[in-house]
Structures are given as structure tokens and as C-alpha cells.
Structure 1
Amino acid sequence: MKIVIAPNALKGSLSAAQAAEALAAGCRQAAPQAELVVLPVADGGDGLVAVLTQALKAAPKTLRVSGPLGQPVEADWLYCDEHHRAVIETAAAAGLALLDPQELAPMTANTRGVGELILAALDAGAQRILLGIGGSATSDGGMGMAQALGVVFRDREGRIVEAGGSHLTEIAGIDSSNLDPRLREVQIQVICDVDNPLLGARGAARVFAPQKGADAAQVEQLEAGLAQYAGQLEHFLGKDVRNIAGAGAAGGLGAGAIAFLNAELKPGAELVLELLKFDDALEGADLVITAEGQLDGQTAFGKAPAAVARHARAAGIPCIAIAGSLGEGANELDKIGITKVYTLCRDSVSVEDAMSNAAEYLRETAALATRSFCL
């Protein structure tokens, strides 16, 4: 029997590689003779760099950059000399995981560190940049990134506007004349796990800002600010980013990447599976096991487990998904090819317990799922 193990990270608990190790241990316990193919996956958020390091045969690099609140952080990124390709992870420079819950600051957190990573990639000679934008703590529309790359934002009195969600409504002018000219020669692909537009009920502010600590009043302020920002981007750069799928990702960083980097937005999980040669790994497989921190109705929209399940279904292979917890809509995941769902939060296991002991519960659940499949 051949089992392909392809989990995403379990945010707050395990990296994709750690999750894969735990799943593999459970599968070996239940089916010692099985051939295991271990391929941790990602969809543009936390763990993208780690997942692609071996696949791209790229050299890991570390750069001290500005964190989401301006504090210095050590951010990992990749560079492949052979193909002049860089991989940058927004979460490494501006991610939620860099902040304690009490530090969340949706109105002031910014993406400057992302721009600093892009500058490092340009300095290294990158001709292609893969920018993952999941897992951000920011709602600045990419202002910080743009400033690091040479863009100047001004208010009605001509004063410089600093990056941050609370300052978006102040923008009355955008000067991109000093935007790093090397960007014109570089192909930039932005990958994310959502297709939300910048504004509206499914936009950056109303859907994602609460997850970053915004209260109801701040959500409306961010919505107004991003609308102002979009208007200025159209006026000064000729880019209407309001309704582009994915523009609302990472607090509007998707919109900023389109406007300032002339980037192409791509579904993250699909591109990662392509780079990992996932379909080749499926050849001759009897079972696929994937995992993520939470599975719910949103899983189908760009999340890594959904992409894994779709590829498994296309190959005629059953796919089991294991979640830390289940949310609304999880019972409909069979539509994307997930044939059975298990959760770590069973038998009175709390979410806190599951997160604290995720590796052990994941191993136990993988063993249970494998035994059930073999019956």
C-alpha cells in the first residue's frame, strides 16, 4: 500500500513538516509495510519557504527586517541561483504569528518588512519572485511594502503619510517616481489562499480585520480607508484594484502588489503542488492524507487541503483529511474530494488541548484513520 501524506501547517501548533512527521508516525504504526510519500504543502501563508526549500533546490537565507509593528525580526526567504528565483513569505516579516494576542494592532501594523525582503531579492539578482501573502497581521493595503520600495504617500497638505491602516484615509497623493526600477524587469507572482476582493462584505476589512484584532468601529474605518486608497491608486497609477479576486488578501497587500509590483495573483496551493510535482507523487497511491488546523466551508476556496483533495479525486484516490477542529460547512467537504474527515477535538478533547498536544493527537488520529481504511 502506498500512502501520500500532504498536510498544511496547523497554525499555532505545528509546521507542515512537523505535521507530516506526526502523520507518518501514525501511518507506520497502523501499516508498517506501507510505502509513505511525505510531501508537506502550503498555500501562500506560514511555512511556504520551508515547504519549497527542497523542491526548488534553493538556498535558505535570513534577513533582519522591520516586523509588523516596526520591531526587527529575522525573516527567512529563498533564492535559487540556477533559475534566479526568490521565494518570499509575508508571514515571516508581517505575520500574525510574530505577535502575541495582546500585541495585535490592526490599525498600525504594516508591511514594510515585505518590501525589504523584495529589495534583498532584487539585490541578489532575482528575475522571478514568488510572494506568498497569507498569514499577515496587517491591513495597510501594502503601503509599507511600497514605501520600502521607494513610493511616497502624501496627505492634502503634502505631508508624508506613514504606513498603517489608520492612515489610509489620509492619502491624497501617491508619488511612484522613485519606485525601484528593477521591478520593471522582474516577474512577480503573488500566491494566496483566498479570492476576496479589496472592498465590501467579502473584502479585506470586513472579513479579515477582526481576525487581526479589529473591533467593529475599526473595521468600518479600515473599509473607508481601503476605499480611499483604491481611489488614489486608480487616480495616480491607473490601476482599479477594487474588485480583483485576491486583492483583499493580507489586508489589501494583494491590491498593493498588483498596483506597485504589476504582480500576477495566483491560487497558492495549486502553484505549490505544481512545484512539488504532486501529481507525480500520486502515481500508484492507494490513499492520500492531508491536514490543517481547521476545516470548514472556506476550506474549498484556495486552501491547501482542498487542492490536495481535488488532485487526489482526479487521480481516483481516496483522500482523508484530519483537522484540529471543524467549523461550519465541514460536512460538505466531500464535494471537493475529501472522502472522510477526522478531528483532533473528539472524546472531550478541547481546542486548547488539541493545540498544545497536536503532534501526539495527530499521530493517534492518523493511526486510527489508516486502520479504518485498511479494514
Structure 2
Amino acid sequence: MNLLIASDSYKGSVSAYDAGEAIKKGILQVIPDADVTNVPMADGGEGTIDAILANRDARIHEVNVHDPLMNKISVTYAGITHQGKDTAIIECARSTGLPLIPEEQRNPMLLNSHGLGEQILDAVKQGYQHLIITLGGSATNDGGVGMLQALGWTFYNNKDEELPTQGNQVANVYRMSDDHRLPALDSCQVTIASDVTNPFHGTNGATYVFGPQKGATPAHLETLDQSLERLASLLSKHYGENIQTKPGSGAAGGLGGALYIGLQGTFEAGIDVVMDLTKLEDHMKHADLVLTGEGSLDQQSVMGKVPHGVAKLAQKYKKPIIGLAGRHDLELEQLNRFLDVVMSIQTEARPIEQAIQPDVTRKQLTVTSEQLMRLYRLGSAHSDD
């Protein structure tokens, strides 16, 4: 029997790989001779590189960059060979991620994306001409100004004074120049991996939708959104394309739009990128049963998250698929459109702080998957009769 585990991480608890290993343990307790393949998944947020590298070789590059508060930190990105090309995989969350900022310092008016630009700069200097940049989990809402500054763009205020790289300068941008942008960018192919389709600004844009979770107050939201609107106008005029009309431009506080229009990037769904890089389709073809999961299976799960992407692939090959989650919506109609079975792993009522403890999550994944396999084996025995 061939089983495929393609799980996301359980946010704040266990990685995608660890979740898969816990599920695998439960399966093997019931069917010891099962052929179980654990292929960790991600959708472009924190942990994407780890998920990709769990099943393939890579070159790891370490580089010193600035975090969103402009403190020096050391981060890594990965180099792989993909479709015959040397490809750098750069995770936005490693240099601009929300977990880098203490909760009491989360104020997007003070944070910038300079570090992501430094990661890109290093990769280009290393000779990479194909860049996959995963967006998700960012702390910033600067429209990509900090990133572009690190790559050679210059921005000016309303007095025509050059803006510094400290802080979030988007509210001060009135003019820009790309005369000194890194020339090697012209030879680069940039893939923007994201599960977000929000526009650059407006009520459904980067600021109003994602700003509050980054610490933005109502006053911040208005200022930032107006600033992104002005920046969008500036970029659109300079490059001859309306950035606001491009779905996904609002990803990661506007980094999606800056990568798209400044680096001529191409958007791809994060889960599709990860499935491609991990060769999930090849594994899917040989599976008798598929298990996927994430911390919360809810309405957002059908908007390009890992379980939805894995389930669509399972449906393509007519494979039964089970979804496991720390919690799921009571209204399961939408979830059951793409997952044959949806199960919560909770075995008793626990406070959330206890439920998300890694040891607890791993144990509950193992117990739940073991019981599922007992049920699956029982059903298979009756079908044989």
C-alpha cells in the first residue's frame, strides 16, 4: 500500500516535515509494511524553503542583511538546479518576517523590506539568473521601497531630497529614479510565489487587509494606504503599466507589486511552485491514499492554501484524500468539495496554549492517523468481502 503525506506546517506548533513524520508514525503502527512518502508542503510563507529542501539537495548561502528594524542579522537562501537552470530560492520571511519583530515593536510605520533586497542582491552577485521569491509572513508595509533601495533605486521626498534607508519611507516618496538599479537584474527571471491576490492599495489592498495583523493602528492604515496609492501612481507612470490592476500586487505589504513592476516578476501560486519543486505530481501518481493538513482548515483553505492545492492534484488522479487539522470549520460543505474526509486531531478539550505545544500536536497527529488507518483497514476488509 502506498500512502502520500503532503502536509503544511501547523502554524506556531510543528513544521510541515515534523507533521508528516508524526502522521507517518501513526500509519506504520497499523500497517507496518506500508510504503509511506512524506513530502512537506508550503504556500510561500515561512518554512517554504525547508519544505522544498526536505526531499532534494541544495546549496545553502548565508548572507548578512538587515531585518525590518535595520538590525544586522544573518539569513540563508537556497540554490538548486531546476529545469536545467541554477535557481535561487529566497524566502521573504527570513529577512522581513513578522516573527523577527518583538510584539511590542510591531509598527509597520517603522519597518522596511531592505533585507529582502539584500538577499536578492547577494543571489544575483552569486550568478543566479532565475530567482524564486516566496512572499508570506512579512512584517512590512512599505510597498517594496526598502527592497528597491537595496537594489539601486533612489527615492525622493516632496523637497526633492534623497530618502534614507532607515524606517518605512513610503509615506515620504514623491519621486523616484532607477538610473542606478543593479544592471544584472535585466538578465534575471523572477518568479513571485504567493497565495495572495489582493491589489496594491484600497479597501481590499495590502494595508487594510493585512496591516492590522502587523500592528497598524486605524490612523496608520489611512496613511499607509494613501502612501501606497501615491507610490502605485508613481511606479505605473514610470513603467507604463497600472500596478493596481495586477492581482497579487498587495502581497507582503506591496512587495508583490514592487517585484512585478520593478523586477518584471511573474506571479505563480505559492503552492503550485512548491508542488513543482518537490515533484509532488510524480508521487501522487503512485499513491493509494493521500493525507494533507494544516493548523486550521477553514474558508481560507480554499483560497490557494496547501490542502486545496494538494486536493486538486489528488482529484486529477482520482486519489482519495483526507485532511487533518488542529481545528476546522463546523460548516464542512466547502471543505468536502475537495477533501473526502476532514478530521480534527483534538483528542480532548485543551487551552490553545497547550494544544499547540509541539509535543502535543505531534502526539495527536500520530493518534489520529493511527485511528484513521484502523478505520481504513476495516473498510478495505469489508470491501474485499
Q: TM-score range by the shorter chain?
A: over 0.9
Deviates more, 1:242-251 or 1:70-79: 70-79
One-letter code of the match for 1:167? Q
Correspondence for 1:282? 284
Q: Counterpart of 1:291 in 2: which secondary structure? A: strand
Residues 124-169 of structure 1: per-residue CA shift (max 9 Å, x gap)? 1101001001111111111111010011111110123346885323
Residues 120-131 of structure 1: pairs in structure 2 closer than 5 A: 120-131=122-133
Is 1:372 aligned with 2:375? yes
1:341 maps to 342
Corresponding residue for 2:244? 242
Measured against aligned partners, the alpha-carbon deviations of 1:78-123 in whole angstroms (never above 9, x if no partner) come to 1136722111000111111223333322222211111111111111
Cα distance in 2 between the residues matched to 1:359 and 1:204: 34
Contact 1:156 1:171 in 2 (8 A): yes
Q: Counterparts in 2 of 1:98-247, with a 5 A limit? A: 98-162=100-164, 167-247=169-249
Q: Give me the CA root mean square deviation.
A: 2.0
Distance in 1, matches of 2:166 and 2:365, equals 38
Secondary structure (helix, strand or coil) at the match of 2:295 reads strand
Taking the aligned partners of 2:315 and 2:102, their CA distance within structure 1 comes to 39
Unaligned runs of 5+ in 1: none
Length-normalised TM-score, structure 1 = 0.94
- Shift >6 Å, 4+ stretches: none
- CA distance in 1: counterparts of 2:250 and 2:155, whole angstroms: 20
1:328 to partner: Cα distance: 7.9
Shift of 1:197: 1.5
| Residue 69 (1) aligns with residue 72 (2) | no
In the alignment, the residues of structure 2 paired with residue 286 and residue 125 of structure 1 have an alpha-carbon distance, to the nearest angstrom, of 42
Q: Is the 8 A contact 1:344 1:354 kept in 2?
A: no
Aligned to 1:49: 49
2: CA distance between counterparts of 1:289 and 1:301? 19
3-state SS of the aligned residue for 2:49? Answer: helix
Name the aligned partner's letter for residue 217 of structure 2. D
SS in 1 for 2:340: strand
Length-normalised TM-score, structure 2:
0.91
Give 1:218 shift: 1.9
Q: Residue 80 of structure 2 aligns with which residue?
A: 80
Structure 1 residues 136 and 331, CA, compared in 2 at 3 Å: closer, same or farther? farther
**Number of the residue aligned with 1:362:** 365
**Could you list the per-position Cα deviations for residues 19-49 of structure 1 after superposition, in whole angstroms to 9, with x for gaps in the alignment?**
2111211222233222101100111111121
The Cα of 1:326 is off from its aligned counterpart by 2.7
Distance 1:330 1:198, change over 3 A: farther
CA drift of 1:325 comes to 2.5
Gaps of 5+ in 2: 379-385
Alignment of 1:231-310 (within 5 A): 231-310=233-312
What is the deviation of 1:208? 0.9
Structure of greater Rg = 2
How far apart, in 2, do the equivalents of 1:226 and 1:164 lie?
Answer: 18
- CA gap 1:163/1:355 in 2 versus in 1, 3 angstroms: farther
- State the percentage of identical aligned residues: 33
Distance 1:268 1:260 in 2: 20
Quick one: structure 1 residues 158 and 96, their matched pair in 2 at CA, closer, same or farther if it must change by over 3 Å?
A: same
